[in-house]
Amino acid sequence: MEAGAAAARRILLVEDEAKLARFVELELKYEGYLVDIAYDGRTAMDMFGQNAYDLVLLDLMLPGFNGMEILRRIRKTSDIPVIMLTAKGEVSDKVVGLDSGADDYITKPFAIEEVLARMRVAFKKSAQKAVEEDKSILRIKKLVIDLPQRMVKWDNTEIDLTKTEFDLLAYLTQNKNIVLTREQILNQVWGYDYIGETNIVDVYIRYLRTKIDDRFDVKIIYTTRGVGYYAKEEE
Ligand code: CA
């Protein structure tokens, strides 16, 4: 039971089946959540505009405009966690839902424990995202990486990096003291659709070492032989 931890969280439940809505409401309240119910799309958008919610449970088939339309409207202004509730047979809509920014979906009929578990996952992800956004300035030794401005300095001396060099350095620094495999680096920095030599990672690590480690006579980037690379904070 995580009632205490969930005490302040406010949920918008959008569901036109009154009995189901009432059941979910009671269970969520029992868990310590605050719950508002909207039985149709228009009311849902009104409530969303008027209150600050922490998560939306969103039925797909609704009178007025449907769940997809509500999701689209929510996503124009908010990255709040949204979990779609879909009936069996709406499988293709599930995929569409995730594509258009739903965090998760649950198929009806569902066990309430499943809903609560998915909600906890969504909250956790959302909290992690907030922490990541807070980490827009990265530091390692005398190196300062300003992510929004895409600027790198060593002890106030600006370092000129290409886009890829910057992305690579940022990724290593965000995961400092953690060994990243070439594959992880490749996927993150070059993207999953990159087609080409995997030794591109080694080439760019060399560029970075030349521009930072060698130039300022420091050691930022370490090699774990046969595995990959990591940025190290301590000597
Ligand atoms: Ca419905």
Q: Where are the domains of the chain?
A: 4-134, 137-231
State the distance from the centre of ligand 1 to the C-alpha of 16, rounded, in angstroms.
Answer: 5
Q: Which helix (H) or strand (E) holds 140?
A: strand 137-140
pLDDT tens string 219-233? 999 999 999 999 998
| Residue 223, Ramachandran bin (φ over 0: left; ψ between -120 and 50: alpha; else beta) | beta
For tokens 């599930």, the residue is 94
State the distance from the centre of ligand 1 to the C-alpha of 17, rounded, in angstroms.
Answer: 6
Q: What pLDDT sits at residue 197?
A: 81
pLDDT reading at 27 higher than 70: yes
State the distance from the centre of ligand 1 to the C-alpha of 54, rounded, in angstroms.
Answer: 22
> In the predicted model, what is the mean pLDDT of the chain?
89
Three-class DSSP category at 51: coil
State the distance from the centre of ligand 1 to the C-alpha of 63, rounded, in angstroms.
Answer: 8
State the distance from the centre of ligand 1 to the C-alpha of 87, rounded, in angstroms.
Answer: 8
Fold of 137-231: Arc Repressor Mutant, subunit A (1.10.10)
pLDDT tens string 110-123? 999 999 999 999 99
**Residues ≥6 apart with Cβ < 8 Å to 182:** 198, 201, 202, 228, 229
Q: What pLDDT sits at residue 92?
A: 64
Helix runs in the chain, H state only:
18-30, 41-50, 67-77, 91-99, 112-134, 163-174, 182-185, 200-208
pLDDT reading at 1 higher than 60: no
State the distance from the centre of ligand 1 to the C-alpha of 192, rounded, in angstroms.
Answer: 37
State the distance from the centre of ligand 1 to the C-alpha of 59, rounded, in angstroms.
Answer: 6
Band of the pLDDT at 97, cuts 50, 70, 90?
low
Token readout for 104 is 């998760």
172: exposed, middle or buried (Cβ count in 10 Å: 0-12, 13-18, 19+): buried
pLDDT tens string 179-217? 999 999 999 999 878 888 878 999 999 999 999 999 999
Band of the pLDDT at 52, cuts 50, 70, 90?
very high
pLDDT reading at 4 higher than 50: no
Name the least confident of 100-104, 175-179, 186-190: 100-104
Q: pTM value?
A: 0.57
Nearest residue to 83 via CA among 112, 63, 50? 112
State the distance from the centre of ligand 1 to the C-alpha of 117, rounded, in angstroms.
Answer: 22
Q: What pLDDT sits at residue 90?
A: 67
More confident site: 74 or 92 = 74
State the distance from the centre of ligand 1 to the C-alpha of 67, rounded, in angstroms.
Answer: 9
State the distance from the centre of ligand 1 to the C-alpha of 187, rounded, in angstroms.
Answer: 39
State the distance from the centre of ligand 1 to the C-alpha of 143, rounded, in angstroms.
Answer: 54
Fold of 4-134: Rossmann fold (3.40.50)
